[in-house]
Amino acid sequence: MSRQGQKEEQVRRMLDVPHPQVPADLAERAAEQGGRMLRRRRAFRALVVFVLCVAVVAFTVWVMIAEPWHVSPSETTPPLDGA
């Protein structure tokens, strides 16, 4: 018997046995678990959006205060020669 034939025979034997009973509340439990997963995912996305907004606000405040595009004045003055 070929390998393909052996696999088909194995599948047929597996399908011939009686199927196990499905719990009556399986659909309800699956729906509850799916709802929990969706709520967690939404909460995580809301947290990420909140943290990104806080980071943008903090960066904006820092830019307004520090003004990093301006050159800071040098602490020492060049020597005056030939005055």
How far is CA 48 from its chain centroid? 9
Asked whether residue 77 carries a pLDDT value surpassing 90, the answer given is no
Write down the pLDDT at residue 75.
76
CA 78-66-79 angle, to 5 degrees, is: 5
Write down the pLDDT at residue 83.
55
8-58, pLDDT tens digit by residue? 999 898 888 888 899 999 999 999 999 999 999 999 999 999 999 999 999
Write down the pLDDT at residue 29.
97
Write down the pLDDT at residue 73.
73
Write down the pLDDT at residue 1.
64
Domain residue extents for the chain: 29-66
67 Rama class: left (phi>0) / alpha (psi -120 to 50) / beta: left
